[in-house]
Structure 1
C-alpha cells in the first residue's frame, strides 16, 4: 500500500480517515482525501486530489482519475475506470458507468426501507426522467430537498467543479 504526501501546489497534505481497510497494492495519490470506514480493494489506484467520502467500497483494480470525488456510501465495481464524480449512494459498474444505487450497502448500514425507496425514486428522476437534467435536478431539490439523504446528493452535485458526474450508460 502506498500513500503519496501532499504537494506544494495542492492542499499540502494527503488526509486519510479512521478505520479504513486498504488491500495489497492499493495507492492513494498526492493531496487526496480519504474518509472513514473506506474499503479499498487490491491494486486500486486513486489519482492525485481524489476525494473518497466515508464508507465507500472500492472493488479491486478500479482506478480513479485525478480530481474525482466519490460520495458517501458509494460502491465502485472491480476494474472500474472512474473518470466522473460518483454521487453519494451510487454504484459504478466495471465499465465505469453509474449503475443505480448501492442498495446492499444501504441495507447493511441500516437505512430504512422508506429512505431507500425515496433514494431510488430520486435516482430514477435525476438520471432516467424526462426533460433536461437541470429541470429534473430543480424538481428533486424542491420536492425532496428536506430529506437529509437526498440533501447529500443535492449538495454533492452542487459542489462539483472539476469533473463531470459519472452517468448511467444510455442506449
Structure 2
C-alpha cells in the first residue's frame, strides 16, 4: 500500500475530533447522566418502583432537581429503597412526600417530590417517609375489565331472573 498523504491524515483527524466533540456535548447535555455538583443524598422506600431505573429524574413542580443514583431491596421489609441525589441549594422540608409518576401512558417514570410545610429540613442522608408507589397500568386495566364483566352478572343475580322484554310483534299493555 502506498503511504497516506498528509491531507488524508488531517481529514481523518478532523473527523475524529468533531466526533469526540459531539460525543462530549451529548453526554454533558443529555440530562440522563447523574446529577453533578454539590448535592444532598436522600432515600425513600416504596412498595413498587415499576420501570424506574438509576439515572431517572427527580423533579419538584416538574423541574429536574436531581436524579436517582441507586435502588435496592430492604431485606427486612422487602420494600424498594431509592437513593436520590438532590440539588444542594434546595432545602427539602422533613414532611415532604415522594411519588413515582409517569410522563404519560408510554413515557418513562420519574420521582416527583412534593415539598411539605415543616420548618425542619432534611439533611444529607435523610429519609423521605411519605411515599406513593408506582401505579401499574396493567393492574388498573385488569380491574376495570373485571368490573365490567361482573356488572351484567350482578344485575342478573339481584332480581333472580332477567327482566322480560316486550316482544316487537305485540303492543304493550297499559
Identify whether the pair has TM-score above 0.5, normalized to the shorter chain: no
TM-score normalised to structure 1 length: 0.24
Q: Which has the larger radius of gyration?
A: 2
